[in-house]
Every structure is written in C-alpha cells, then in structure tokens.
Amino acid sequence: MPVARPESSDARVIAHVDMDCFYVQVEQRKQPELRGLPTAVVQYNEWKGGALIAVSYEARRCGVKRSMRGDEARAACPEIHLVQVPVARGKADLNSYRNAGSEVVSILSQKGKCERASIDEVYLDLTEAAESMLADKPPETLEVIEDEALRSHVLGMSIKDGDDATECVRDWICRRNADRRDKLLACGILIVADLRKQVLKDTEFTCSAGIAHNKMLAKLASGMNKPAQQTVVPYSSVQELLHSLPIKKMKQLGGKLGTSLQIDLGVNTVGDLLQFSEGKLQELYGMNTGTWLWNIARGISGEEVQGRLLPKSHGSGKTFPGPRALKTLSSVQQWLNRLCEELSERLSSDLEQNKRLASTLTLHASAYRLSDSDSHKKFPSKSCPLRYGTAKIQEDAFNLFQAALREFMGPYGTKTQGKNQGSWRITGLSVSASKITDIPTGVSSIMKYFHNQSASSCSKLSTDSCIQECPASSFSASESCSEQRSIESETAVSAKNIGVRCKGSDVGELEEQADTLTKEDVSCPSNKAIDVLPQSRNKLSTSGTQMGRMERKRNNSKEMTWGTPSIADIFKNYYTTTPPSMQEIQEDSTRANSSGPTASQRYRDEERTETTWSYKMDEIDESVIDELPPEIQREIRTWLRPSKRAVTVTGNKSNVGSTSSIASYFSPLRDR
C-alpha cells in the first residue's frame, strides 16, 4: 500500500523542543557555581580522562568537542570543569537526567499533544492551541509581544542592514494579510516562547525549539539556532530550506538509503530529489520509500505527534573495549545480572508509577572471535517474551546470550564452559525491554499479582518458557520464542580506545590479558533498520513476523501457565493498529525492477545478503542509546538525529554569541 499523502497537514503547528547541552545543565543545576563556565560531563574511565558526553556552549567556544577525551578537552580549554556522570552498578547512572527530562515534559505537555522523543527532546502538536489563539486573540491584536518571541528566527525573512531584527519579527508575527498557515505558525511562536520561559522558570533549564507545520521540519529547525533560541519555518521557506539541506542530514537518510541516493542518483541535497518523479523514485526504491522520498523533497510529512510522555522502551548496557573485553561465560553472566537488575528496577517503577508492562526482552551484544580476524561482525541480537522479576530477567537474558553466542560462533565452537576463557570476546552487552503497553483500568488485582511477581525472586518453578521452547542445542532462542526473531545491528564503531591497554578490572578478570584490537562491532538498538529495506528482505521480514504472530498466539496459553511473559497480550490486542513506522513505509510491495542493475537494484543486491530484520527498531526509545558508552552513542546518533549535527543550511548551530533573553538570563556567556 502506498503511503497516503497528507492533504491538510500544512495547517498544523508542530514544535520540536530540544534541551541545550542537557547533561551539563543538569549537573550545573546541582552545582550552580558552574553556570556560565566551560563545563563538560564525562563518562570516566582511565583512558585519557574518559569520554565527553555533553559539552557546555562556553566550552564549545574554546574548541571543546564531544568527540574529545577528557585530557584533550583540558588541553583545548585548561579551565574546563569536567563533571563525572553518576555511576551505579559499575556503569553510568542516567536516572538524574531521565528525571530532569520528565520535569521538562510535564511542563511542555500542558499546551498540546506531547511526544517524548528522547531523554531531552519533545515534539508538541500545538495546532489546537494555535487555532484557539488565532480565533480569540490573534497576534496582531496583542498590545505586548514578549521579547522571547521577538527573538525568534524566521527562516527566509530578509533583514536589511540597519533593520531591527526584533521589529521585523514583530511585523511577521502580526501580519494581517498572511495566509492562515503562517498565522497559525505565528501563534506557535508565541506559545512556544511562553513554554520555554516556563521551563526555564520551573526547572532552570534552557531549551531550543523549532516550529513548523510538521515534525520533520520542526526538528530540522530546532537545531539551527542554539542555545536557548527558537526558529520558525514559514510555509514559503520550506523549499529554500530543503534546497540546500545535505541529504545525509535528513533523519532516516543518514544511512544506506542516503548513500545510495548520493552515489547512485547523484543527489546531494534534499532539494535535488525534486528532479525525480514519484514514479521514478518508486521504481528505484519501491512504492512506499519512493513516495516517502517524493514527499520529503517537498517538505511533506504526515507523521503524527504521538501522545506519549513515557519512554517506548527501557534499556541498560555497557561496553568492554580493548582489554576489558569479557572472556568467560561467568563474567558475562555477572555483567548481565547487573544490567538486568537495573532493567528490572526500571520496569518495576514503570509498572508501579505508570501502570505499564513491557512484553519483550532483547539482548544485544558485540563480540569477536579470537581465531577469526574477520569476525568483527554482528553478534545476533535475540528476543524473547519478558517475564517480570529480576531473577527471571537475568535467567532469560543469559539464555538469550548463550543462544546468540552459539549462533555467532557456529563452526568455531563456543568453548563456553564455566570460568575457562572462550575463544570469543564480548565487547558490549545490553538488555532492553520493549513493546510497552498500558494496563487497562480495572485490573488492579492483576497489578498486585505482577507487583508480587516483580518483587519476588525467581525460583526453579518459574521455568523459562523460552528455554523450554528452545532446546539449546537445536536453535536459537529467538527462533521459537519470539515473534521478533533477531535484532541485529549493523553498527560498525570505530572505537577509538580499542587497542589501548587500560589498567583496572571491572569484573576481576580484565588484567589477565590485554588484547589488542583494531576494530569493534557493536550491536545495539538503533534506527538503522529503517534504512531502506530491500524488497526481498522485507518479504522475509514480514513473513517472519507473521509466523511469529502465529507462533505467539499458540504460545500465549503456555505463557500464562509458566510465568508472566507478554502479559500485555492478555489485556490488550498486542498488535494494535499504529500509524506506519518508517520501517513499515519501507516494507514495500513493489516488484523489483528487473531491467538490469539500476542504482537501487545494485543497492538491493548488496542488501539481500544481509540478515533479515523483523524487529521494529523504532520501538526502541532513543534513551536506550543513552545507556551505551559515548563513543558508540555518537555513531548511532548520527543516524538517529542527523539533523542535530551541524545543520549548516541556514542555521547557526554554534551561535553561542547571539543573544536571546532566556540565554542571557540564564547563562550569561563570559568573554574569553
């Protein structure tokens, strides 16, 4: 089915709000004496002073970048304050950042439908609020327009030499003869400025925002003028914006689809796509992807703001670079136990506070084989129904790991006995819980039951349904335990600290041997899967999912008897209808173009050799990625949020010198 083209979406008012150097602001709130000073948050380890994960704008002005290590940051900016990220269970503890993000969400959600997109990003649908304002008190009737609104950036607005920019903005906001769409955006400017001021007042955090008629454009705009500023995309400026926007900066085009467009079609900017007809793009990339490309070239995106204030998934992960790589099953189990403990705590509090249940447990890992220099490839990710209770989650995760390891090692054998070193090394582990659904009201007794399950430890009685269904020797856990089959990341990470000999041991085994690596592959949740999916792969994927669904239906009765997996199925139709995800858009039914190896055909051929994905990666919240070490996060985020990286079109990402009332009120920039 082709993607429906949204007809009336241009009369909407959507905002994307993004906190500025978020972790730094959280730490500065804890230590107010750091405000206005060059500061960075660092995930500490012994190697070169640890990895920077957030950098204040003052430090950016001194040349400090997130890609630096602590020592490099000190060299660039000797007066920088490096604050260590809190640590719990031997890994970064992001709870204070999550909670701070929730504070912001609770304020922003007051004016319209609000979607928490990541730990520090929110989409708002302000259409209704803007329509009411336009009906009751249109901007041109206002006696006073707040300074914060007047400091907005209006894309495409020409400001002549000598003109007062704020007066130009006032004129734009108050235009009587503007078309309705821009009048609504003008109302959006006022509403968002108010919300940002409220956020500052209540939380002491500054944020930046983009305002446009759809999510895609709003997100592009929010990164253009930071920190503490807002940017609006008038309807008439959309083409200008897209004309010069590098194709890879567009969300979802940072990966292989973007590369194919560049190499095979010579498309460098989003605007370049305009030269291709919808039919041609469909012929090359399939119906849905073709239509989607045709739409984005015109700034059309029908993606709705989801009313979701809570994360889509929970995750906990850790990497073990270089000599820290895990070598024995017992060390893997120890770490998995810690990660699962954290995951379980978060699931319990989600259940307690939000009455939500997750139903899928997924294990991701990255690994290499000692005997195979070319083995820096994917370690298969595995999923199974999630059973509540720390010990059950630990047990299931370890079983998923072992199934994945068997698959990974294949003919090389696993040598996974006890404390003996295997012929493999694990360089990253993470567990995540997804498919989270609300428990309908009126099931409080069931709630209590789960609460008890969650609090109690797992006994032998709670035999793992997954394991029963998956004899270890025959096939992997995901093959029969989950409709999701496997998740496999294609993240190739050039971890800079690989090959460096670090001292210290996380689990008491690390100093035994310092392996020197040159490369590390990491499996982790990412939106990478939404790179265009070749049709053959999509078909596989779809059929895998359908088979899984049938399997799942069969399994439900067993699951209820054996434990508490997939309980959400019991309450709610598991496969509720949701708007098509990017992956679904790309689950294309077009026939492959059989006439010779066209651009996309070549591209598809390459893809065909890859493993099937049937997991919907967009069910994984970006905050899961926050759990991963910074080097890996960086890589992944370039796919997830490419627009946040140095959008150069008309924006000014590092516009630290420009003023905004919030910026100057909160964090006066010091002259250096």
Q: Which residues are catalytic?
A: 121
Query: Could you give the C-alpha distances from 513 to 445, 448, 455, in angstroms and in order?
Result: 53, 48, 39
Residue closer to ligand TTP (CB basis): 20 or 521: 20
Q: Which stretch binds ligand TTP (CB under 6 A): 15-23, 73-81, 246-254, 525-533?
A: 15-23
Is 398 near ligand TTP (CB under 6 A)? no
Q: Could you tell me whether strands 39-43 and 81-84 are parallel, antiparallel, or unpaired per DSSP bridges? A: parallel
Phi, psi of 356 (to 5 degrees): -125, 145
Which of 100, 92, 491 has the alpha carbon at shortest distance from 316?
Answer: 92
Q: Which is nearer to ligand TTP, 283 or 626 (CB)?
A: 626
In angstroms, the CA 509 to CA 105 distance is 42
Is residue 20 classed as helix, strand or coil in its secondary structure? coil
CA distances (Å), origin 199, targets 54, 339, 578: 20, 33, 31
Q: Which residues, 22 to 81, sit near ligand TTP by CB under 6 A? A: 22-23, 53-54
3-state secondary structure of 115: strand
Q: What residues does 18 pair with on adjacent strands? A: 121, 208
- Nearest distance from C-beta of residue 319 to ligand TTP, angstroms: 13
Total of residues contacting ligand TTP (CB under 6 A): 18
* Site pattern 592..631 for ligand TTP (x: CB under 6 A): ----------------------------------x---x-
Please state the three-class secondary structure of 290-337 as a single string. HHHHHHHHCCCCCCCCCCECCCCCEEEEEECCHHHCECCHHHHHHHHH
Q: What's phi and psi for 493, nearest 5 deg? A: -110, 130
- Does position 127 interact with ligand TTP (CB under 6 A)? The reply is no
Peptide bond into 138 cis (omega under 30): no
Per CB under 6 A, the list member of 116, 226, 382, 435 interacting with ligand TTP is 226
CB 341, min distance to ligand TTP, A: 21
- Please identify which residue in 407, 637, 643, 662 interacts with ligand TTP, judged by CB under 6 A: 637
Of positions 27, 58, 120, 490, contacts ligand TTP by CB under 6 A: 120
Shorter beta-carbon distance to ligand TTP: residue 117 or 186: 117
CB of 22 vs ligand TTP, minimal distance in Å: 4
**Residue 20 near ligand TTP by CB under 6 A:** yes
Contact pick of 633, 655, 661, 667 for ligand TTP (by CB under 6 A): 633
Among 3, 12, 17, 18, binds ligand TTP (CB under 6 A): 18
Q: How many CB atoms lie within 10 A of CB 518?
A: 10
The angle subtended at Cα 346 by Cα 343 and Cα 352, nearest 5°, is 140
| Residue among 318, 376, 378, 644 that touches ligand TTP (CB under 6 A) | 644
> Binder to ligand TTP among 19, 270, 273, 339 (CB under 6 A)?
19
Residue 497: partners with Cβ closer than 8 Å, 6 or more residues away: 45, 47, 48, 51, 321, 322, 631
* 443, two tokens: 């099931």
Which range binds ligand TTP by CB under 6 A, 21-29, 148-156, 479-487, 499-507? 21-29
The CA distance from 639 to 526, in Å, is: 8
Nearest approach, Cβ of 169 to ligand TTP (angstroms)?
A: 22
Among 13, 21, 386, 540, the residue binding ligand TTP under the rule CB under 6 A is: 21
**For residues 161-172, b (16+ Cβ closer than 10 Å) or e, as one string?**
eeeeeeebbbeb
Residue closer to ligand TTP by CB (options 318, 537) is 318
Question: Over the Cα atoms of the chain, what is R_g?
Answer: 25
For the bound state, the minimum distance from the C-beta of residue 59 to ligand TTP, rounded and expressed in Å, comes to 11
User: Which range binds ligand TTP by CB under 6 A, 16-24, 179-187, 263-271, 568-576?
Assistant: 16-24
- Minimum separation from the CB atom of position 641 to ligand TTP (A): 6
- The number of CA neighbours under 13 Å toward the Cβ of 646 is 6
Provide the minimum distance between the beta carbon of 207 and ligand TTP in the complex, in angstroms, as a whole number. Answer: 9
Nearer to ligand TTP, 148 or 626 (CB): 626
Per CB under 6 A, residues contacting ligand TTP are 18-23, 53-54, 119-120, 226-227, 626, 630, 633-634, 637, 644
